[in-house]
Structures are given as C-alpha cells and as structure tokens.
C-alpha cells in the first residue's frame, strides 16, 4: 500500500493544479468561427499569447544551438587529445 501513496498523491496534485489553471475569458484562445466577432482586446490577448510562445521557442532554439556547439567542440578536443597521446 505504501508504494502507491506517492503516485496517487502526485496525480491528485496534478489534477488540482490543472483545475486551478483555467484561463480567464480574455486570455482564452477564441475559435476560428468567433475570431471576426471578438473585441480588439481579446484579439490582442490572443496575439500576445502567441508572441510569448514564439519567444520561448526562440530561446530554446538558441540554447539548443549553443549546447550543440559546445558538445561538438568538446568532442573535437577529445579526439585531438587522443591523437596526441597515441602519437606521443
């Protein structure tokens, strides 16, 4: 019984967190059929949401690119050090 206590509590906490995380009317993404009828405030909120997502994606792309560069550089330096040791 003790083995199931932590996963059950984690699922309950996740369920509670998703219930509390509902968006207000101005922040929800409107459907395609209601886009023409929405007020400019709601449309601005929709555009702001997408711009934030784009910026977060761009930051992740930059971090991934830097990580790839560092990984390749370390791999190249390790190969060069191994060649110097084997030639030495």
Q: Per-residue pLDDT tens for 41-71?
A: 777 777 888 888 899 999 999 999 999 999 9
pLDDT confidence band for 87 (50 / 70 / 90): confident
Query: Is 1 domain-assigned?
Result: no
Query: Is 70 domain-assigned?
Result: yes
> Rounded CA gap, 26 and 47, in Å?
12
* Sign of the torsion formed by the C-alpha atoms of 29, 23, 41 and 54: negative
The encoded tokens of residue 8 equal 């059950």
Query: Is 38 domain-assigned?
Result: yes
Report, in angstroms and rounded to the nearest whole number, the Rg of the chain calculated over CA atoms.
Answer: 25
Host domain of residue 34: 27-87
Domain count, the chain: 1
pTM over 0.75: no
Query: Is 12 domain-assigned?
Result: no
């Amino acid at each position: 019984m003790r083995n199931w206590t932590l996963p059950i509590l984690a699922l309950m906490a996740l369920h509670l967190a998703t219930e509390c995380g509902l968006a207000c009317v101005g922040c929800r993404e409107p459907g395609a059929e209601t886009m023409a009828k929405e007020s400019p405030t709601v449309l601005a909120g929709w555009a702001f949401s997408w711009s934030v997502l784009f910026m977060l994606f761009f930051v992740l792309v930059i971090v991934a690119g830097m990580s790839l560069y560092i990984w390749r550089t370390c791999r190249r330096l390790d190969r060069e050090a191994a060649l110097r040791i084997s030639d030495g």
